Structure formats: structure tokens, C-alpha cells
Amino acid sequence: MGSDRFRLDGQVALVTGGARGLGQAMATALAQAGAAVCVADILPAEETLRLVAAAVHPGHALVTDLTDLDPDGAAVLVQRVTEHLGAPTILVNNAGIIRRAPALSHSWVDWQQTITLDLSVPFLLSQALARQLVARESPGKIVNVASMLSYQGGYLVPGYTAAKSGIAGLTRALANEWARYGINVNAIAPG
């Protein structure tokens, strides 16, 4: 059996923030496990697509600014993945930002941008994917990227800590609510 337990043949994955770093590594690993992978990032993802193609699985990149995402935009993004690779069953909510400043001087703009990209966007994309999965009566998997700061609090990163703490709570809430639909929701906390 071995590594066959982790095969994802026939699955389609959407990875946000997959143009570099952890997102690129996760997109590549998903492709190596057999999934077709779509990367959504504000940056071009040619290198990631080369790595995905090396695994002999199709890949596609959507260059998009997720900070403007609303519920309709989330549904459209999931639909665009379906048009290019097939209906997604895996979502990795990896895209995020961090703004460093003391809490006393942390700007409202930095707070809003961080909460939007690091917490609101994962909720919107999870909801959009889950709606499709439930309508198709298909199981699925959602992986949220939290942070060790979800538990430790951090220093000079109040917006990021709040957002990543929210991701940890949101993950538990969605896991509880969507388990009955066969949608598995987990978070990882790199660090």
C-alpha cells in the first residue's frame, strides 16, 4: 500500500498563493500525488507550473488579486478552475500577507488588508467550493494555512495574529459543520 494511500489521481486542487514559497511546495506535492493543480496568485506562477508539469499532471495559473474577492468573485474563481481543469475537490487556502507594526500604531489599512486576505478570502473560497461539493454530493478537502502565532500571539503583528487565530477557529467550525457532507477541513500551522 505505502504511498498509494496518498494518491490524488483524478482530483483537482486549487492552491492560493502558489507562485512561490509554501504555496509552490504544496502545489508541487499535490501534483506529485496525482492531482491537477490550479494556482491562484497575484504573481505569475510559471515556475510553479513547470514543477507541476514535471509531475506529468496538468496545471493552470490564474493571476488574480484576491484582496478584492467577494462572494460572487469566489464562486467565479471556483468556476474558472472547473473550466480549465475540472471541478475542484481540494482547496488550499495559502495566500496571505503580514504587516509588522506595534499595536499602538498598527494602521487601519494594514489591519483591513490582513484580515481580508488572511481570513475573509479563505472563508469565501471555502464556502464557494463547499457549495459546489454539496450540490454535486462530492466529498472534498480544504486545507487552511494557520500559523504558530494562532496559538502564541506573536509580537508586532496584531492583524496577522488575529487573522491566523481566526483561521484556526474557522477551521474547527467548518470541520464540525461540513463533516456530514464528506468535506474534510484541516489547518496546518507552519513555524
The rounded Cα 42 to chain-centroid distance in angstroms is 14
| Candidates 151, 155, 160, 181; catalytic one | 160
User: Is 151 known to be catalytic?
Assistant: no
Identify residue 171 by its one-letter amino acid code.
T
* Spatial distance between the Cα atoms of 120 and 115, rounded to a whole number of angstroms: 6
Catalytically active residues, by annotation: 160
